[in-house]
Amino acid sequence: MKITDLDAKEYDQYYGRYINKLSTEIELIAGFREGMKNVVQFFEGIPDTKISYRYEAGKWNVMEIFQHLIDTERIFMYRCFRIARNDKTSLAGFDQNIYIEPSGANQKSIDSLINEFKIVRQSSILFLESITKDQLKYIGNANGGGMSARAAAFTIIGHETWHMDIINERYL
């Protein structure tokens, strides 16, 4: 399933900023595999001197952004899972800012975050491989708006691209 199969009516406009980061040629599962490789290489390549850097007071550092990517993947794959199972229950949003401190991101090593990311990503890939194209088209309600299972999944890989671009522009 390619991103070109996705209709803009399958997600709230807010998520378009992530989805629009993706190449029109990207295929969902291949995008998750390629994303895993790219994210790991990206974070392995960040100098130790930049891991705790904040470009502005009150902004997250690189470790916190990485933890945010992991947490967001968990949440959006949960949304994808529930929607793909045809669950019509409205799924709550989340306040990303309150997740950072209790995550303990700054007490973890970059290697432990990379390992955590790989495990979460592998779980996401296995789930996506287990469902049908029709299930990916199911529409549910997430954070007060309509969202398809595949839109939730594509948002994950666009979201990581979004944040790696920000790190490149403002942190490195």
User: What percent of the chain clears pLDDT 90, i.e. is strictly above it?
Assistant: 98
Distance, CA of 144 to CA of 60 (rounded, Å): 26
The domain over range 3-170 is classified in CATH as 3.40.470.10: no
Domain ranges of the chain: 3-170
The model scores a pTM over 0.85? yes
pLDDT at 7 over 90: yes
Work out whether the CA dihedral 43, 12, 56, 165 comes out positive or negative: positive
- The pLDDT tens digits for 35-62 are 999 999 999 999 999 999 999 999 999 9
